[in-house]
Structure 1
Amino acid sequence: MDKKKLGFWSIVLLTINSIIGTGIFLSPGSVAKSAGTKAPLIYIVAAIFTSMLAITFASAAKYVSKGGAAYAYSKAAFGDSLGQYVGVTRVIAASIAWGTMGTFVVRTTLKIFGFDSANLTYVTIGFLVLMIILLLINIFGTKLLTIISDISTIGKVLALVVTIIAGVAILAYTGTSHISELSSLKAQDGTPLIKEMTATTFVTAVIAAFYAFTGFESVASGSQDMEEPEKNLPKAIPLAIGIIAAIYFGIILVGIHLNPVALVQSKEVVVLASIFTNPILEKVVIIGALVSMFGINVAASFHTPRVLEAMAKEKQVPEIFAKRLSNDLPLPAFLFTAIFAIIIPLSFRYDSTSITIISSISRFVQFLIVPIAVVIFFYGKSKEPVLDSKKNMVTDVIIPIIALLLSILLLVKFDWKGQFSVKDSTGAVVTNVKAIVSMIVGYVVLPAIMFIYSKTRKESK
C-alpha cells in the first residue's frame, strides 16, 4: 500500500472541506423563505440529490484519471467537440463559483472591520486585493495551501457545531420556539411572505440548498492520488455528504426555531449570524464563515485554473494556458480565470442572490453530461480508451441515470423567468439583461470561439 496516497478517511475529510464553504452561512434565509417550516426537509432532499451526482463523478474517476474532471470524462466518452464544450463551460462555471465565493469573503471582511459592505468601490478594491493574496499563496506552493485548507476545515466545522449547540442550549433554556412567526411574515404588498409549497417553489428551494453542497464535483479529480478510488470514492463521498447534511439539518432546524424572522429577512452578508442577539455568538459565526470562505477561495484558486490548463495540454485552447512557472503555478490560466471570476460579480453589482443562482445553474451542463458518460464507460462505448476498472451496475448505471433524471427535473421545474428578473429602482419587475448576456457569452459565444480556434489550428497543420 502506498502511504503517500489518500486513504478512506482522508477522502472523507477532503470532501467535507471541499463542500462546506459559503452556502450554509448564506443560503438558509432563501431556503426558509421558499420552503418555510419545511426548510430542514429541503436540505435532506438536496443532500440525496448531491449524493447521486457525487457517486456518479466518483464512478467516472475510476475510468478516467486525467486532470480536468468533467472535461476529461466528457472528452473520453464523446470525443473532442463535446469534451471541449464541457471543458470551456466548466471553466466558466468554476470561475463564476470562485467569483461568488470571493464576493462573500470580501463583503464579510468589510463588515467585520466596520466598512460599508454594499459600497461597490470598497468591494471591488477588496476583490482585487483578495486575488493578489491568492496569487501570492499559489506562488508559495502547495505546503501553504495545505496549511490554510486544514485551518479552514477546523474553523468552518467548529463554527457550525458551536451554532447548533448554542442554538439548542438557548431553546432549551427559554423553552420557546418562534417557528410559528414564519406564517405571520408579510411581503410589501401585504400578502404572506411564506407561500404554500408548489413544484416551482420546491425546486427553487432545493437548488438554493443544493448550492451549499456544491464542490463535490472537484473531489474525484485527484483520484490517481487515492488508495483504491474505485472502492473508496463511492463510499467516502456519500458518507461525507451525510455528515454535512446532518450539520446543515441541525443548523436550519435551530435557525427556524430560534429566530426565523431574522433568518428570512436579514440583510446581513452572513445570514446565519443574524439568528443570534448575543454579540459573541454572532462574531463566532461571522469569523467562522470568513475562515471558511477564505479557505474555499484558496481551493478554488488552485483547482479552477487547472481545468483550463488540462484543456491546453490537449491543445483545445491556446497552449499558453499550459505554461507553468518554476514553482508549478499555471500563471496564464490563473490570471484568465481570476479575471473572469472578477468580471461576473462586478457585472451583477455584487448582488449575492443573482450570482448565487447563476453559480448553481452554471454547473448543470456537467451534471447532465457526466452521468451519460459513466454509462458509456460501463458499456465500453467511449470514444477514447479508458482504464480497465471494476464495473458496478449500481454505481455506474442505475445511480447515474437517477442523477440525470433528477437534474433534468430540476431544470424543467426551475423558475427561469423569476430568477432572470430583477426589480428596478421603482420596484417594477424587469428582465435581468446582465444575467442573460452572461449565460449567452459563457455558454454560446466563448465555446464557439474556442471551437473555431481548435478547428483552425487543426486545419493549419
Structure 2
Amino acid sequence: MALSDSGLRRTLGVGDAVVIGLGSMVGAGVFVALAPAAHAAGSGLLLGLAVAAVVAYCNATSSARLAALYPVSGGTYVYGRERLGEFWGYLAGWSFVVGKTASCAAMALAVGAYVWPDRAHVVAVAAVVVLTAVNYGGVQKSAWLTRAIVAVVLAVLASVVVVCLGSGRSAAGRLDIGASGGVGGVLQAAGLLFFAFAGYARIATLGEEVRDPARTIPRAIPLALGVALAVYAGVAVAVLSVLGSDGLGDAAAPLADAVRAAGVPGLAPVVRAGAAVAALGSLLALILGVSRTALAMARDGHLPGALAAVHPRFQVPHRAELAVGAVVAVLAATVDVRDAIGFSSFGVLVYYAVANASAWTLSPAAAARLVPAMGLVGSVVMAVSLPVVSVAVGAGVLAVGVGAYGARRWAASR
C-alpha cells in the first residue's frame, strides 16, 4: 500500500472520501440544525438553506482546487500558509482546531442526549473514547465504520421524507417562502445550517491518505456536497410540509416531531436512534479532521512537536488523535451542547474565508476569481450574522490564538 512522504498510508479512494465527507455533513446537524434555523428565519428557512448551499459550493470549489495543488494533511492551514503567508495559515488552523473541537463535544453530547438523556455526559465521554480508539487503528477502519453509519442515517432520513410527504397532513401551503425573520434572520439561519454543511473539509484534511489526491479530492468534494444538499433540501421540505416554519422553530426534536405530526408516532424511536448514529458518524469524521490539522500545525511548530508523530504500524498521527480525544472528552463532560454550535460555526466560517482568499491567488483571471470572491464575502457575512454571543466568544478565542502566535514570533526573534 502506498505511503505519502510523511509515512501516512494512502488507502482512500473516491468512494471512501465521499463517504467520510457525507459522514460529517449528513450527521447530527440534519437532526438538530433545522429547528434553530427555522426559529431565526421563519418562512425564510429555505432561503437560508439556499444561501448556505451557495456559499458551501463556493467554499468546496475553492477547497478542491487548493487540495489538488497541495495534497497534504492540514487543509486550509496549509493553503493559507502557502498562498497568503504563515500568519494566515496559522489563523485558519487555529480557527479549525478550536471550532471543530467544540463541534466534537457537541456531537458527543448529541449522542448522549439521544441514547441516555439522564446520563448524557457519561455516554458522550464513552463515545469519544471508543471512536478515538477506532481512529487509532487506521483511517481505513474509520472509513468502513463511516460507510455503515451513513447507510443507516440515509435510510432513516428517507423514511422521514416518505412518511411526511405521503401523509394526509402534509400541505404545500406550509412551504410558503418568505422572509418573516428578515434578511438578518435568513443570514443567521444560513450560518447555522452551514455548521452542518461544512463536513467536506474533512476530505481535504485527509490529503495525505487518499490515493491519487490530485484527481480524487476534486471529485470527492463536490460529489459529497451535492448528495448532502439533496438530502437537506428533501428533509427540510418534508418537515416544513407537516410542521410549518413556526412549528419547526419550536420543535425540540424536529424530525421526531414531524413523524408524529404525520400520524406515524411509532417511527419516532427509530428517528431518535438514527440521530444517535448520525452524531457518532459526525464525531468520528470530526476527530479525524481535527487530528490531521493538529498534525500539520505540530510539524511547523505551532503546536507541540510530539503531536507530529506518526504510528509506525498504523500510519496515523496517533499522538494528535489521543490529544484531541482527551480534550474533547473533557469538554463533553463539562459543556452544554447549545453553547458549542454557534461558536463552531464562527470558527469554521473564518477558516473558509482564508480558504477562499487563498484560492483567489491561484489565477489572475476575473472569471477564475468569481467563485472564491463569492465564497469569501459569503463566509464573512454569515459569520458576523451569527448570534452576538457566538461572534463575541469566537472573536475572543481567535484573539487568544493571535496573541499566542505573536508571542511565539517575538520569542523566536530574540
TM-score, normalised via structure 2 length: 0.85
State the partner residue of 1:124.
121
Mapped contact 1:96–1:341 kept (Cα < 8 A): yes
Shift in alpha-carbon separation, 1:65–1:293, aligned structure 2, 3 A: same
Q: Does 1:314 align with 2:320?
A: no
State the partner residue of 1:387.
none
State the partner residue of 2:325.
338
User: In the TM superposition, what are the counterparts of 1:7-22 in structure 2 within 5 Å?
Assistant: 11-22=17-28
State the partner residue of 2:171.
177
Matches of 1:176 and 1:20 in 2, distance apart? Answer: 24
2:138 aligned residue (126, 132, 141): 141
Mapped contact 2:161–2:234 kept (Cα < 8 A): yes
State the partner residue of 2:94.
88
State the partner residue of 1:243.
227
Matches of 2:386 and 2:286 in 1, distance apart? Answer: 28
Offset of residue 78 of structure 1: 2.5
Mapped contact 1:18–1:219 kept (Cα < 8 A): no
Offset of residue 205 of structure 1: 1.3
Structure with higher Rg: it is 1
Question: What does the per-residue CA deviation read over 1:89-133, in whole Å, with 9 as the maximum and x for residues that have no partner?
Answer: 22112211211211211211114xxxx2xxxxx333223222221
1:213 aligned residue (197, 211, 229): 197
State the partner residue of 1:266.
251
Mapped contact 1:102–1:130 kept (Cα < 8 A): yes
Calculate the aligned-residue CA RMSD, in Å: 3.1
Q: Does 1:350 align with 2:336?
A: yes
State the partner residue of 2:5.
none
Matches of 2:140 and 2:212 in 1, distance apart? Answer: 25
* Aligned-pair identity (%): 19
Offset of residue 226 of structure 1: 5.3
Mapped contact 1:28–1:252 kept (Cα < 8 A): yes
Matches of 1:407 and 1:39 in 2, distance apart? Answer: 18
Mapped contact 1:88–1:308 kept (Cα < 8 A): no
Q: Does 1:299 align with 2:296?
A: no
Kindly tell me the number of residue pairs found equivalent between the two proteins: 401
Offset of residue 68 of structure 1: 0.3
Matches of 2:277 and 2:162 in 1, distance apart? Answer: 20
Mapped contact 1:47–1:242 kept (Cα < 8 A): no
Mapped contact 1:159–1:285 kept (Cα < 8 A): yes
Matches of 2:121 and 2:15 in 1, distance apart? Answer: 39
User: In the TM superposition, what are the counterparts of 1:150-229 in structure 2 within 5 Å?
Assistant: 150-170=147-167, 174=168, 177=171, 196-223=180-207
2:372 aligned residue (375, 382, 400): 400
User: In the TM superposition, what are the counterparts of 1:24-173 in structure 2 within 5 Å?
Assistant: 24-111=30-117, 116=118, 122-170=119-167
Comparing 233-242 and 272-281, the one that deviates more: 233-242
Shift in alpha-carbon separation, 1:176–1:409, aligned structure 2, 3 A: closer
Offset of residue 199 of structure 1: 1.6
Offset of residue 169 of structure 1: 1.8
Offset of residue 58 of structure 1: 0.7
Question: What does the per-residue CA deviation read over 1:136-165, in whole Å, with 9 as the maximum and x for residues that have no partner?
Answer: 223333343222111111011111111111
Mapped contact 2:175–2:240 kept (Cα < 8 A): no
Offset of residue 272 of structure 1: 1.5
Shift in alpha-carbon separation, 1:198–1:41, aligned structure 2, 3 A: closer
Is the partner of 1:363 in helix, strand or coil?
helix
Mapped contact 1:75–1:82 kept (Cα < 8 A): yes
Mapped contact 1:344–1:438 kept (Cα < 8 A): no
Q: Which has more helix, going by share of residues?
A: 2
Shift in alpha-carbon separation, 1:307–1:6, aligned structure 2, 3 A: closer
Matches of 2:48 and 2:181 in 1, distance apart? Answer: 11
Point out where structure 2 has 5 or more consecutive residues left out of the alignment.
3-9
Mapped contact 1:159–1:288 kept (Cα < 8 A): yes
Matches of 2:16 and 2:141 in 1, distance apart? Answer: 18
Shift in alpha-carbon separation, 1:68–1:247, aligned structure 2, 3 A: same
Matches of 1:181 and 1:226 in 2, distance apart? Answer: 41
Point out where structure 1 has 5 or more consecutive residues left out of the alignment.
117-121, 184-193, 380-391, 421-434
Offset of residue 328 of structure 1: 3.8
Offset of residue 310 of structure 1: 1.1
Mapped contact 1:96–1:340 kept (Cα < 8 A): no
Matches of 2:395 and 2:120 in 1, distance apart? Answer: 23
